[in-house]
Structure 1
Amino acid sequence: MSFEPRIANQSDLAAIQDIVKDAYTPYVSSIGRKPGPLLDDYETLINAGRVTVVDVDHVVRGILVLIPENDAMLLDNVAVAPSAQGLGLGRELMAYAEQRARIAGYSMVRLYTHELMTKNIEYYSRIGYLETHRAEENGLKRVFMAKSLT
């Protein structure tokens, strides 16, 4: 199954917010607070052209937030609606992030996740991301990872 990612527009806002809420709310109890993606301003991110979505049957089911930085593309958020998990959307969005980074001239993609999101850390490691360091930011204990695209 192949999906065609597209840049999000304001009509996608509610669907994006719902996917983020569904994806990250289960972590609130273990982390003890809202994970970073639940605090982001998606209207502003959409206006800046930073949000990509994928549709399944004309409904937004996956989102990706990419932020260009000086030395790397930051994969700020990737989330898939629970109803669409297992379709390969996450894998497709990760590959798309790497493709967009290459097109923009970057040789690396960086990301971070909370240290308690161990399934994410394991997944990112499996697809070539290496842990670079751990740090606390905004009260969240984060694991920083990067993947070389060269």
Structure 2
Amino acid sequence: MIRAARPGDAAQVAACARSAYARYIPLIGRKPAPMLADVPAQIAAGQVSVWDGDGGVLGYTVAFAHEDAWFLESIAVAPEAAGHGIGRALMQHFEDSGRARGFSRATLYTNAKMVENLAIYPHLGYEETARRVEGGFDRVWFAKAL
């Protein structure tokens, strides 16, 4: 069910990002970064993996090499598909992909106002490594040994 995104998936990936991240707009005061992403360019660069379910794209990740780590730029699950293990499967796929590419470390960030993520990532073995404002977003960085 998880596969590399194809160019024809761009609209569904963007729709998934919009629906998954829309609830954060009032908290952050603007659209979160994944809602502003150039999805066709990310797909063309081979950075996007999707959970392809009966209803089309129900979740996705954007991941690539960044500095000395395998970096998760974004992960989302469509709200109607939440609670069925898709997010966990996508995280596992992200980590497995990093290992397969020879990385010994995974990194990611979340917005400081996405408080549930601040609890989820440590539960998955990630440790907070930094807090900084980037592009107007208050980000909390995490890392995990792969």
The correspondence for 1:77, drawn from 56, 59, 74, is 74
Is 1:86 equivalent to 2:96 in the alignment?
no
CA deviation digits over 1:77-114, x for unaligned, max 9? 10001111011000000000000000000001100000
Query: Which sections of structure 1, spanning at least 5 residues, go unmatched?
Result: none
Deviation at 1:58, TM superposition (A): 5.4
Is 1:124 equivalent to 2:133 in the alignment?
no
Is 1:20 equivalent to 2:20 in the alignment?
no
TM-score by length of 1: 0.95
Matched with 2:6 is 9
TM-score by length of 2: 0.97
Deviation at 1:30, TM superposition (A): 1.0
| 4+ long deviations beyond 4 Å | none
Deviation at 1:70, TM superposition (A): 3.0
CA deviation digits over 1:8-63, x for unaligned, max 9? 01111111011000111111111111111111100000001100001111511010
The correspondence for 2:30, drawn from 22, 33, 45, is 33
> Which residue type is aligned with residue 76 of structure 2?
A
- Identical aligned pairs, as a percentage? 42
> Which residue type is aligned with residue 132 of structure 2?
A
